[in-house]
Amino acid sequence: LIIQNITGLFLAMHYAADISSAFSSVAHIHRDVQHGWLIRNLHANSASMFFICIYLHIGRGLYYGSYVYTE
């Protein structure tokens, strides 16, 4: 999550949320910003890894029966 926050802040500095310029701002980040392609790919891949970790955590809980309340 720390990587997501840091790369998200760097991407937000150059992103324009206007409907007419959103795609061109992403292309600008990817092409013109120094290491923008790396920051964008880090942001996307770390989001995917975060969801993989969440799914593994849920699967582990289901496998070990962590949801069963025993007293």
Domain residues of the chain, as ranges?
A: 2-64
- Please give the average per-residue pLDDT across 31-56, as a whole number: 96
Whole-model pTM?
0.79
Mean pLDDT over the full length of the chain? 93
- Residue 37: pLDDT band (50, 70, 90) is very high
pLDDT exceeds cutoff 90 at 68? no
* Radius of gyration of the chain, Cα coordinates, nearest whole angstrom: 18
Q: How far is CA 46 from the centre of its chain?
A: 5
- Please give the average per-residue pLDDT across 62-70, as a whole number: 85
User: What are the tens digits of pLDDT across the range 46-58?
Assistant: 999 999 999 999 9
Q: What count of other Cβ atoms lies within 10 Å of the Cβ of residue 39? A: 20
Which class for 7: exposed (0-12), middle (13-18), buried (19 or more C-beta within 10 A)? Answer: buried
